[in-house]
Structure 1
Amino acid sequence: MIRHRRLGALPLSALVLSALLAGCAPLESRDGYRVDHGHPSSAHDSRVSQLIIHYTHEDEATSLSILTGPRVSSHYLLPVPARQGEQRVYQLVDESRRAWHAGASHWRGQSGLNATSIGIEIVNAGPEPGADQRRWAPYPDAQIDTLIALLRDIAARHDIAPDDILGHADVAPERKVDPGPAFPWKRLHEAGIGAWPDADEVAHYRRRFATRPPDLATFQQALAEWGYALPTKGKLDERTRAVLRAFQMHFRPADYRGRPDIESAARLWALLAKYRPEALARLESQEQAAELSR
């Protein structure tokens, strides 16, 4: 029989102290020591700065096998919904832990983005087998609806900026093309997620560049100001083509051949005007200085 001690058998001071310890300074016992959680600091923030979106290029079962294996992982995996209304998401790695999804990567002066990002893999085939590069597997509406809910939740909890919601191609343009030109970035923006240029600003810069488009070195600098790791050499090398292709897949998917053109420039400058006005001011100041020196 278990004997219960009457409250009256304990001094009042002991009861008060016990309550204080339980409510204000909870102690966690660990192996060989105890941790007092009663003095939490307010001087901290999330380790997460970016959300990086991928496609798996595999079916669900293969994707799960690869992403739970020893070499690669992601925080979340979104399957293709098997039935109407299904909203299942696999969480494979806790958000507090680093997943191995971005590899060699760079954005806005940061490298090795596994340490600062959350990776989301989407079950999608990517380029259709045997097809040219203009035929890509679509993303079902129900899958994107679930993705929107997931992204909205994560971005709010970690205070992630719209221009830090990225594709794998954005952070590794010479190695990766996912989530590809079929991914609906504009639809995400309309749902309040991610960056997209304003139509009026795009039209403004389209008119401006119709008679005098930016030279290649200025275009490269603008891409670097947006976040890509790109030297300003004034040459259309393979790195520049890869970065342009990544930018176009994200913001101008109708033509992603990696060629500089007025439409891509107009969208890039409109994005800088909306999200990075200080970078745009810096860019235009340098353009004016170069103009005066001619």
Structure 2
Amino acid sequence: MKRVLSTLLLALLLAGCAEKGIIDKGAYELDTRHQAQAAYPRIKVLVIHYTADDFDSSLATLTDKNVSSHYLIPANPPQPSGKPRIWQLVPEKELAWHAGISFWRGTNRINDTSIGIELENRGWQKSNGEKTFTPFEPAQIAALIPLAKDIIARYNIKPENVVAHSDIAPQRKDDPGPLFPWQMLAQQGIGAWPDPARVTFYLNGKSKYEPVDTAALLDLLMRYGYEVPDNSTAAQQKRVIMVFQMHYRPELWNGIADAETLAIARALLEKYGQG
């Protein structure tokens, strides 16, 4: 007994003598006392998706070899313990293949700097030439809110960097679409939203749907963070305006440059700055 106590006392004494910031790794030591200033967190962006499929098919796709996402939330999460269950498919510290070819606020390869959350949702159906989107279940959004808040807090993600998949890939993607409750989430501290009073100020008495110069609007969207290449076609420019409207003016997302869309872009730039 005395020998055990002596050994424990010696270990405590040695631990007390160990240099602060020196970590014993067994075969080597790490000196962590001099941390570089030119270091930045890898995760800066939170990307919201829909799966465009049912849960079982979505889970199979996201655990296959080609694509992946950090989280998958069922449309109606089961609650075996009284709390909604969310599937984590990739550890946050690891890169998932959810964004694809993408760009946001001056940076491409958004997979490298983001966490992806997939929501089970059928996406859109086309009828009479028009897209009709599937609403999100309240239970799913209720599960998303605490998860998104935790991620944002862990990595200090800025509101303007909580984005739709369509924001970062406007030529390819529509998700999560115009029925996703961005405004409500922004009120919960998740994502960006313009101040209504500033939108009214920039609207300056004009009719909401009064046409405006497309180039002027695209310049604002590019400054806010969207990719608008110089050689964009008219159809590609319309796509950028459309996905912006899906996010910030979901009641009308026709891709046409109008006074309200311009006012929203100005209010966002004023509030969150340029990308």
TM-score range, shorter chain: 0.7 to 0.9
Is it true that 1:34 corresponds to 2:28 in the alignment?
yes
Out of 110, 127, 140, the residue aligned to residue 107 of structure 2 is 110
Greater C-alpha radius of gyration:
1
Which structure 1 segments of 5+ residues have no match? 281-294
**Which amino acid in 2 is paired with 1:257?**
N
2:45 counterpart (31, 50, 61)? 50
RMSD between aligned alpha carbons?
2.9
Deviation at 1:116, TM superposition (A): 0.7
Give the aligned partner of residue 238 of structure 2: 241
Normalised to the residue count of structure 1, the TM-score between the two structures is 0.82
SS at match of 1:120: strand
**Equivalent of 2:213, from 215, 220, 234?**
215
Count residues in correspondence: 271
Asked if 2 retains the 8 angstrom alpha-carbon contact of 1:127 and 1:135, the reply is yes
- Any conservation in 2 of the 1:126–1:180 contact (CA below 8 Å)? yes
1:239–1:70 Cα change, 3 Å: same
Bigger mean CA offset, 212-221 vs 173-182 = 212-221
1:94 maps to 91
Distance 1:11 1:97 in 2: 39
- Residue 57 of structure 2 is aligned to residue 62 of structure 1: yes
User: Which residue identity lines up with residue 223 of structure 1 in the other structure?
Assistant: L
Q: Given the superposition, is the C-alpha separation of residues 12 and 79 from structure 1 closer, same or farther in structure 2, using an over 3 Å criterion? A: closer
Q: Determine if contact 1:63/1:123 at 8 Å carries over to the other structure.
A: yes
* Aligned-pair identity (%): 40
The alpha carbon displacement at 1:5 in A equals 2.9
Deviation track 1:188-208 (CA, whole Å, cap 9, x = no partner) reads 011111111111111111126
| Aligned mates of 1:5, 1:63 — CA distance in 2 | 59
Summarize deviations over 1:224-275 as a string: whole Å, max 9, x none: 0110111467x87122111001101000111111111112111111111211
1:7 alignment partner in structure 2:
5
AA aligned opposite 1:201 = R
Equivalent residue letter for 2:28: R
Q: Which has the higher contact order (CA 8 A, sep 6+)?
A: 2
Matched, 1:163 2:160: yes
* Per-residue deviation, residues 137-194 of structure 1 (Å, max 9, x unmatched): 1111111111111111101110111011000000000000000111110110111111
TM-score for both structures, normalised by structure 2: 0.87
Q: Aligned partner of 2:138: which letter?
A: D
Select 2:66's aligned residue among 71, 74, 77.
Answer: 71
Which one is further off, 198-207 or 241-250?
Answer: 198-207
Report deviation, 1:15: 5.1
Which residue of 5, 14, 18 corresponds with 1:17?
Answer: 14
Which moves more between the two structures, 209-218 or 69-78? 209-218
Distance, in Å, in 2 between the alignment partners of 1:82 and 1:131 is 33
Distance 1:230 1:82, change over 3 A: closer
What amino acid sits opposite 2:43 in the alignment? V
- Which amino acid is the alignment partner of residue 177 of structure 2? G
CA separation of 1:14/1:112 partners in 2, compared to 1, >3 Å: closer, same or farther?
closer
Unaligned ranges ≥5, structure 2: none
1:219 CA displacement: 1.3
Give the direction of change, closer, same or farther, for the CA distance of 1:187–1:34 in structure 2 (3 Å limit). same
Q: Is the Cα contact below 8 Å between 1:209 and 1:266 reproduced in 2? A: no
Q: Indicate how the Cα distance of structure 1 residues 5 and 138 shifts in structure 2: closer, same or farther if over 3 A, else same.
A: same
